[in-house]
Amino acid sequence: MSSLVYEVGLYPDAGAISSSIGADYQIETTHKYKVIVDASCDETWVRANWGSTLSPPLGLYSSHPSEPFTRIKRVNASLVSRQQFTDSGGVQHDARQWTVDVTFGFLTYEQLTQTSLSGDPGDAQIQISFEPVEWQKPVDVDVNGVPVLNSANMPYDPPVMRDDTRWLLKITRNEKLLSLADLASWANVVNADTFNGCPPKTWKVSPPRIVGVLSPYLDLIYYRVEWALEYNPDTWQAIVLDAGYQELVLTMVGALQTYDLVNIRDKQGMLVQGPTPLNGNGAQLTRPVTSKNAVFNKFDIYKSKNFADLNFPDNVFVTRPFL
């Protein structure tokens, strides 16, 4: 590729480098290069490969030689003339001289995470965002761990509700190849491993949002895949107060012990009108019900997988785009 670039360098005049201030008050610098390439190279090729013989090579999104926090934002090429070029070995080539205007400037976060140094969208850094999710949840215990029960030690029906907030982490990255079957296997799955310092079962991933994008650089379709992960510090297990309308009662038939399921009745012999707290073994809980004797059952209601298989950064909270 670089053998087709015969000569490249800044124009030897005062106008070779110029600066301007953009609408966001950030300085942009434009370098004007004289580039001589083989006659077989068209404008698209020149824009992509004009700086391949420089040290270090320069290309789309490369850093400024003396200002590493700026990147190449735009490359414009215009044909100047047709000419013959004689290389160091005395061989003549049918060549073309181009003027290449290269603009360096600061890229936005979106530009940084949708592009890459190589120009290949598959090499781009991930994009990260956080947003709160507001919802209401039923309250089984108060802030002191005391079960929320009425004066008869019965759960409220309907249950007491309170506002709650969870954090939604969105991770967007480019993918050139997708497997819909693999993506579907991650729908509503919780982490089986430690994810970004959080214990298992505290993160749940939703089916990703996928948008197809055309890459002019590679002339192919790639995909912007947005993953949404919701954090629940209480874990995504179902945690419910052990309670019901029936209890298990021990019955002795000779030396044989059996447990019968019977309806729970109040002191007047009437069927209870609400679920009664149980002791974890199917019998009524000894009253009064407190935070010390209340029994809560946990159930895994979501499948779990190792989030390490998603190949996200080890700590997305400090991940930033390349500089």
**What would the DSSP string read from start to end of 96-159?**
EEEEEEEEEEPPPHHHHHH--TTS-GGGPPPEEEEEEEEEEEE-SB-TTS-B-B-TTS-B-SSP
Average pLDDT over residues 288-312: 90
Three-state DSSP class for 15? helix
In terms of pLDDT, which residue wins out, 320 or 228? Answer: 228
Torsion of CA 7, 10, 15, 18, to 10 degrees: 130
Residues 101 and 183 occupy one common structural domain: no
18-32, 64-78, 101-115: which range is least confident on average? Answer: 101-115
Residue 259's pLDDT is what?
85
Task: Write down which residue in 200, 235, 270 finishes a domain.
Answer: 235
Residue 283's pLDDT is what?
92
Per-residue pLDDT for 173 more than 60?
yes
Angle, vertex CA 221, rays to CA 217 and CA 227, nearest 5? 115
In terms of pLDDT, which residue wins out, 318 or 309? Answer: 309
Q: Rounded to an integer, what distance in angstroms lies between the CA atom of residue 176 and that of residue 120?
A: 10
> Is the alpha carbon torsion for 185, 187, 188, 190 positive or negative?
positive
- Give the domain extent around 23: 2-107
Give 294's DSSP letter. Answer: -
In a domain, 279, yes or no: no
Residues 137 and 179 occupy one common structural domain: yes
Question: Per-residue pLDDT tens for 100-134?
Answer: 999 888 877 666 666 655 556 666 778 888 889 89
Number of domains making up the chain = 2
In terms of pLDDT, which residue wins out, 317 or 32? Answer: 32
In a domain, 290, yes or no: no
Candidates 84, 122, 76; CA nearest to 102 is 76
In terms of pLDDT, which residue wins out, 26 or 318? Answer: 26
Residue 135's pLDDT is what?
85
In a domain, 314, yes or no: no
Residues 223 and 123 occupy one common structural domain: yes
Residues 74 and 134 occupy one common structural domain: no
In a domain, 49, yes or no: yes
Confidence grade of residue 41 (pLDDT, cut at 50, 70, 90): very high
Residue 301's pLDDT is what?
96
Candidates 125, 126, 22; CA nearest to 74 is 22
Per-residue pLDDT for 136 more than 60?
yes
Please check whether residue 28 is in contact with residue 107, taking contact to mean a CB–CB distance below 8 angstroms.
no
Scanning the chain, the segments in alpha helix (DSSP H) are: 43-49, 109-114, 180-184
Task: Write down which residue in 195, 213, 235 finishes a domain.
Answer: 235
Per-residue pLDDT for 321 more than 60?
no
Residue 242's pLDDT is what?
92
Beta bridge partners of 147: 141
In a domain, 274, yes or no: no
Residues 130 and 199 occupy one common structural domain: yes
Contacts of 296 (CB under 8 A, 6+ apart): 140, 239, 240, 241, 242
Write the Ramachandran bin of 117: left for phi over 0, alpha for psi from -120 to 50, otherwise beta: alpha
pTM of the model: 0.62
Question: Per-residue pLDDT tens for 212-265?
Answer: 887 766 677 888 899 999 999 989 999 888 999 999 998 877 788 888 889 999
Say whether the peptide bond before residue 207 is cis (omega within 30 degrees of 0).
no
Beta bridge partners of 20: 28
In terms of pLDDT, which residue wins out, 307 or 139? Answer: 307
Residues 82 and 22 occupy one common structural domain: yes
Residues 99 and 122 occupy one common structural domain: no
Q: How far from 145 is each of 17, 234, 283, CA to CA, in Å?
A: 69, 14, 22
Residue 1's pLDDT is what?
41
Question: CB-side exposure of 277: number of CA atoms within 13 Å?
Answer: 24
In a domain, 299, yes or no: no
In a domain, 307, yes or no: no
In a domain, 73, yes or no: yes
Given the DSSP bridges, would you call strands 220-231 and 243-244 parallel, antiparallel or unpaired?
Answer: unpaired
Work out the mean pLDDT of the chain and round it to a whole number: 84
Residues 90 and 194 occupy one common structural domain: no
Q: Rounded to an integer, what distance in angstroms lies between the CA atom of residue 203 and that of residue 233?
A: 8
Residue 219's pLDDT is what?
73
23-27, 123-127, 137-141, 196-200: which range is least confident on average? Answer: 23-27
Per-residue pLDDT for 189 more than 90?
yes
Residues 52 and 123 occupy one common structural domain: no
In terms of pLDDT, which residue wins out, 318 or 8? Answer: 8
Residue 246, both tokens? 């029936």
Q: How many other CB atoms are there within 10 angstroms of residue 282's CB atom?
A: 15
Residues 122 and 226 occupy one common structural domain: yes
Length of the chain: 323
Per-residue pLDDT for 13 more than 80?
no
Per-residue pLDDT for 286 more than 70?
yes
